[in-house]
């Protein structure tokens, strides 16, 4: 297990080991304010030796970003709660990134905080040919880019170690990435490399405010909540066209979301999505997808009997081979905050297995 516990440097930030806590929405922050319950939740995982905590999704500071109740935000009244969380996590020796989240097409009109605000999307599409949301004007695109940038600057000022943009699973940034939901005919639509522009503008403009040394991650996925079989990139060449504009914009690490980390991404290679992303981009990557579980994420909530997770030995061997650089663990850390420590000490029989009763959150 030694390779899981080697330090890694992201930008100029040293993370003590290769295990990240995957972001998991909890809906435990009334009025968007993370309280002591949230602080204690993250502190327990940091004390359990998680190297990098990526928080639950935190709403971008615009009413269209909200899709679920009691999700934390970055309004001024939440500052004190975040500062307490950052302090306790860092005191335990872990690093912490918030995940900046706009739900895009997942928002339904009538929801808080402003029932009149619809779901914002690039083209009004929730799925291919399914028109059920608001198509953003050019002015609205510009406005939301600036909202993201202001929040990233605040994230740095609060004392976080970095930031992750949620660009996966059918939310706003992913709505721009995916041709199924982006049919724009301006500079934010078109071929796959052009559909990265919304995210690239956020990153480029943020870099002017935060400098080059503050780590920026982005999470992306092929699959969507609207379509489990969706693909952003059907070939390695398409994946390269998608990734390189983001590299040029200033991304430091890619968090590549698979349903099952052990499944190959393209025919003719055993590399998963994180492996291909590292090979193409040359940047550090985080793999994720049913690590240490008996079901995949979709299978659990769809009531399917999913395949057994690949053994931890396979995960370690792939890490040894430098297919990817870090491993994000989600639900296994819900059931057992000491999962990392028990893995390090090889106390496998003491690990508390995940069951659905531990799932306070559904929306990765």
Task: At 261, list the tokens.
Answer: 């980390």
Q: Which of 120, 171, 188, 261 is catalytic?
A: 171
Burial class (CB in 10 A: 0-12, 13-18, 19+), 204: middle
Q: Pick from 19, 156, 16, 37: which is nearest to 100 by CA?
A: 156
Whole-number Å distance between alpha carbons of 64 and 102: 8
Contact between residue 29 and residue 61 where contact means Cβ atoms under 8 Å apart:
no
HSE-CB for 69 with a 13 A CA cutoff: 5
Phi, psi at 97, each rounded to 5°: -115, 135
* 52: nearest Cα among 326, 342, 274, 290: 326
Spatial contact of 39 and 53, defined as CB atoms under 8 Å apart: no
3-state secondary structure of 26: coil
Is residue 68 annotated as a catalytic residue, yes or no? no
Is the separation of the CB atoms in 337 and 44 below 8 Å? yes
CA distance linking residue 251 with residue 281, whole number of Å:
10
Q: Which residues are CB-contacts of 76 (< 8 A; sequence separation ≥ 6)?
A: none
Q: Are 162 and 89 in contact (CB under 8 A)?
A: no
Polymer length of the chain? 364
Q: How far apart are the C-alpha atoms of 259 and 262, rounded to whole Å?
A: 9
Cite the active site residues: 171
């Amino acid at each position: 297990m030694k390779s899981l516990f080697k330090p890694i440097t992201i930008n100029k930030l040293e993370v003590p080991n290769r295990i990240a806590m995957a972001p998991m929405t909890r809906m435990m922050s009334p009025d968007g304010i993370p309280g002591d319950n949230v602080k204690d939740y993250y502190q327990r995982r940091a004390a359990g030796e998680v190297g990098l905590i990526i928080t639950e999704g935190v709403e971008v500071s615009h009413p269209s970003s909200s899709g679920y109740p009691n999700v934390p935000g970055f309004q001024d009244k939440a500052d004190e709660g975040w500062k307490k969380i950052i302090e306790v996590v860092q005191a335990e020796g872990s690093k912490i990134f918030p995940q900046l989240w706009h739900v895009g097409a997942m928002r339904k009109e009538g929801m808080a905080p402003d029932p009149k605000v619809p779901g914002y999307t690039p083209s009004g599409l929730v799925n291919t040919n399914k028109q059920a949301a608001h198509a953003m004007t050019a002015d609205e695109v510009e406005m939301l880019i600036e909202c993201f940038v202001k929040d990233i600057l605040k994230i740095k000022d609060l004392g976080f170690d970095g930031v992750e943009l949620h660009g996966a699973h059918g939310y706003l940034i992913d709505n721009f990435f995916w041709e199924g939901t982006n049919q724009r005919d301006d500079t934010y639509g078109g071929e796959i490399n052009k559909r990265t522009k919304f995210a690239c503008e956020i990153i480029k403009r943020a870099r002017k405010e935060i400098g080059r040394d503050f780590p920026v991650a982005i999470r992306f996925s092929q699959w969507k909540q609207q379509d489990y079989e969706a693909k952003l990139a059907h070939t390695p060449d398409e994946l390269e066209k998608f990734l390189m504009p983001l590299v040029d914009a200033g991304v430091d690490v890619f968090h590549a979301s698979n349903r099952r980390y052990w499944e190959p991404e393209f025919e003719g290679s055993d590399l998963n999505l994180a492996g291909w992303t590292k090979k193409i981009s040359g940047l550090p990557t985080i793999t994720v997808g049913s690590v240490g579980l008996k079901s995949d994420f979709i299978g659990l909530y769809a009531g399917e009997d999913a395949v057994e997770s690949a053994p931890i030995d396979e995960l370690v061997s792939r890490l040894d081979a430098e297919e990817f650089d870090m491993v994000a663990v989600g639900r296994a850390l819900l059931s057992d905050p000491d999962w990392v420590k028990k893995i390090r000490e090889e106390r496998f029989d003491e690990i508390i297995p995940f069951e659905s009763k531990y799932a306070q959150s559904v929306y990765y």
